[in-house]
Amino acid sequence: MPKSRWLVSAVVCSLVALPMSSNAQAPDTLTDQPQNFMRDVVGHLFGPHWNMFLHSGWTTSDRLVLQQAAAPVDAQRSLETSSGFNVGGGAGVDILAHMGLRFNYTYTSSDLNFKTDHGNGANTLDINGVGTLQSNTIALEVMRYMLPARAAFNPYGTLGVQGTWWQLSEKSPLVRASGGSPFAVGPLFSFGTQIRAADHWSGRLEMAMSSGHNPFTGTKSFRALSGPTIDEPTGLSRIDFRIAGVYHFDSPRMPASGGSAVARN
C-alpha cells in the first residue's frame, strides 16, 4: 500500500511537471519573418516582451550664442554649457527578434558659461555660472538589435523623434528667461550595447545624439545680454552618454534543442 501511494504521487508530480517543462523548452515566439501581422507583431505589444529601465549619465551640447563683448574692442565670447548630467527612464517592448520600440524620458541640467572666443586660448572674458539650462525630453524610438533581443552581449542602434521643453534658471543679469519655456521637436539617434547580467536584468552603455531648435533663438526664446550678437545658430545638437539598468518582465527560454538561451520568452 505505501508503494502504491508513492507511485500515484510520482505520476501526479510527473503530470504537473510536464507542462511546466514543455513551456520552459518552448522556442521563442519572436521572429523576423512574421506570418500574421496582428498576431506576430501587434500581439507582442500585449505579451510578456516588455521591459522597464532607468538611466543616468552626462550631457554636452553645441555653442548657443556668439556675442561681441562690451570691452575690449573686437573681443568676442560665446555662451556655452558645461558638461551637465542627465537622468531618466522609460519602457520598451520587443516586437521582432531583432527589433523593438521604446518610450523614454530624460531630464538634463547644465551650467551656462561665457567663454572667451579669441582663438588663441585666452580666458580673459570668461564668466562662469551665469545660469542653469534645464530640459525635459520625451522620445519614441525604434530599436534595432544586432543579435536576437536577449543575446548576452548585444550591440544595438535606435532612430526616433523627441520633444524637448527648456527651462532657464537665471544666476546673473547676463541671461534672461523672458518668461517663456521654448519647445523643440527633432530627430534622435543612438547606439550602444546591452549586456545581460541575469535572467531578468540587463545593463546598457549608450550614446544618444539629438538635434532641435536652439532655445536662445527665435521670437519666444531665452536671451543672452553680454553684447551684440554675432552668431545665433538656429539648431542645437546634444550628446547624452548614459548607463542604464533594464528589468525584463520575461526571461530567456531554452531552445527546443537544449542549446543556450539567447532569445526572449
**pLDDT tens digits for 184-235?**
999 999 999 999 988 899 999 999 999 999 999 988 899 998 888 888 899 9
233 and 180 in contact (C-beta within 8 Å)? Answer: no
Q: What is the pLDDT of residues 238-249, one digit of tens each?
A: 999 999 999 999
30: in domain: no
Domain residues for the domain of 105 are 47-248
- Alpha carbon dihedral 116, 170, 133, 166, in 10-degree steps, equals -130
Q: In this structure, are residues 232 and 65 in contact, taking their beta carbons and an 8 Å threshold?
A: yes
Q: Is the peptide bond before 255 cis (omega within 30 degrees of 0)?
A: no
* Cα–Cα distance, 122 to 241 (Å, whole number): 29
159, part of any domain: yes
CATH code assigned at 120 = 2.40.160.20
Mean pLDDT (the chain) is: 81
H or E element at residue 96 = strand 84-96
Contact partners, residue 123, CB within 8 Å, separation at least 6: 115, 116
For residue 228, being part of any structural domain is answered with yes
Query: Does residue 26 lie within any of the structural domains?
Result: no
The cell for 146 is 544586432
Q: Report the domain count for the chain.
A: 1
- In the chain, which ranges are continuous DSSP H helix? 2-25, 37-40
- The parts of the chain modelled with pLDDT lower than 50 are 1-27, 254-265
**Domain for residue 168, yes or no?**
yes
Position 37 in a domain: no
pLDDT of 199 reads: 86
Whether residue 176 lies inside any domain: the answer is yes
